[in-house]
Amino acid sequence: MKLASSNEPMDISSPELDGFEIKRRPFLGFGLLMSSVIGTLAVLIYFGAWASTDRIENRALAAGVTESHAEGEWWEDGLIFACPLH
């Protein structure tokens, strides 16, 4: 089954918008996006390391050993290592 095609030319140009024209590249937008991503990762690492430290402290108290002798999970140790404040 063939669709009937019209011989009318199609207008594929972009629509005219009154007063809206992008004159330069969107560096500010990409910069703000990247700063949001980096800030979010920093906050997640900080709170993850905080929770990891708390979990290791609780396991050490339950086992009756010092924190330096309590073993953490690989992800807990990784978050604590990644966070410069912990």
pLDDT in tens, 6-50: 666 666 666 677 777 777 777 888 999 999 999 999 999 999 999
Confirm whether 2 is domain-assigned.
no
Confirm whether 54 is domain-assigned.
yes
CB of 60 within 8 A of CB of 66? yes
Confirm whether 49 is domain-assigned.
yes
pLDDT at 1 over 60: no
Confirm whether 59 is domain-assigned.
yes
Looking at the structure of the chain, the number of domains it has is 1
Confirm whether 1 is domain-assigned.
no
Confidence tier at 3 by pLDDT (50, 70, 90): low
Structural domain boundaries enclosing 77: 39-82
pTM of the model: 0.64
Helix 27-63 crosses helix 74-82 at what angle (to 10 degrees)? 130
Q: What is the pLDDT of residue 12?
A: 65
Confirm whether 56 is domain-assigned.
yes
